Copies of this chain bind each other. A is one copy, B any other.
Amino acid sequence: MNIAQQLGYQEQTKLLIIHADDAGLSHSHNRATITCLEAGLVNSYSIMVPCPWYYEMAVFAKNNPHFDYGIHLTLTCEWKNYRFGPVAPLSEVPSLVDEHGHFFKTREALRANAKPEHVVKELDAQVQKALRFGLQPTHLDVHMYSVGADEIFFNSYKALGAKYKLPLMINKQLITMTGLNPETTISPKDLLTKNILIGNFELFKTGKLSDYYANTAEELVPGLNVLLIHPAYNDDEMRGITVDHPNFGAEWRQIDLDFFSNPQHKALFHQKDIQLVTWKQIGHIHS
């Protein structure tokens, strides 16, 4: 039986998770994520534990267990002026940070510097911090898919999923994007996200991001599809965070918020052969 059948649907059903990344990054992100969840379009999200506004989002998650949420494992901080670093003590994960104690900005810098044992320690520290707070995450995904920086890091990610019995975001496109070989990285027993849908900078620059979202339903395939969005307000806080970084910048995030907080857009995904599912449901069949 494939995943759809295990969940009780027809074999060829298109399963879809509309997923908001980066909760906890900023107050702007938290407000926007909650708005999208309450509008009923986003049906899962994940929280960045090392970020300044993690606590606000963690309180929300704990108080709203009906909304599906995971941990957005974080090993990079791509921003110029808004800098954060590990949950684990710096002295225990020194290879993960620059001279100021902040995460590196890119997967490449992470690859060049990070020791695998420090990656293991930090990823575990993030999950442990969330669990200690009383969170019950449904999945583990990864900011900037940074675990793809090295196959050893990717294997740590898999080990983390096994340790906490949580589904992971394992996807061939993303693995290929990071430069890893999907043939050696993916094993037959891995639960695969068949199709990742995410906007790109060209769509943003040419003003076609909303059109892309409106047409997402046509891009879905039988099996598990995950549409990744990054809703936030284009406000002073987000402009400060994303300064000099138009890719996934504040304007982009406002477009995501506008589209996925509009209840009229629900109809786009409510089609006969599409089933909106959560990571929690998938975790139940997976474990």
Interface residues of A (CB under 8 A from B): 26-28, 30-31, 52-53, 55-56, 59, 81-84, 89-91, 100, 102, 133, 233, 235-237, 240-241
Q: Beyond A89-B91, A100-B133: 16 further Cβ-contacts under 8 Å?
A: A27-B82, A27-B237, A27-B241, A31-B240, A53-B81, A55-B81, A55-B82, A55-B83, A56-B81, A56-B240, A89-B90, A233-B236, A235-B236, A236-B236, A236-B237, A237-B237
* Contact across chains for A53 and B31 when beta carbons are under 8 A apart: no
Which one of A82, A233, A236 has the greatest number of beta carbons of chain B within 10 Å?
Answer: A236
* Contact across chains for B55 and A236 when beta carbons are under 8 A apart: no
- Say how many copies of this protein the assembly contains: 2
Instruction: Compute how far the CA of A81 lies from the CA of B81 in the bound complex, rounded to whole angstroms.
Output: 22
A83 CB contacts on chain B under 8 angstroms: 55
Instruction: Compute how far the CA of A100 lies from the CA of B90 in the bound complex, rounded to whole angstroms.
Output: 18
Instruction: Compute how far the CA of A229 lies from the CA of B117 in the bound complex, rounded to whole angstroms.
Output: 46
* Contact across chains for A236 and B27 when beta carbons are under 8 A apart: yes
CB within 8 A of A82: which of B56, B100, B241?
B56
A239 to chain B: closest residue by CB: B27
* Contact across chains for A236 and B100 when beta carbons are under 8 A apart: no
> Which 4 A-B pairs give the minimum distances between C-beta atoms?
A52-B52, A27-B240, A56-B81, A237-B237
| 6 contacts across the A-B interface (CB closer than 8 A) | A27-B240, A31-B236, A31-B240, A55-B82, A89-B90, A235-B235
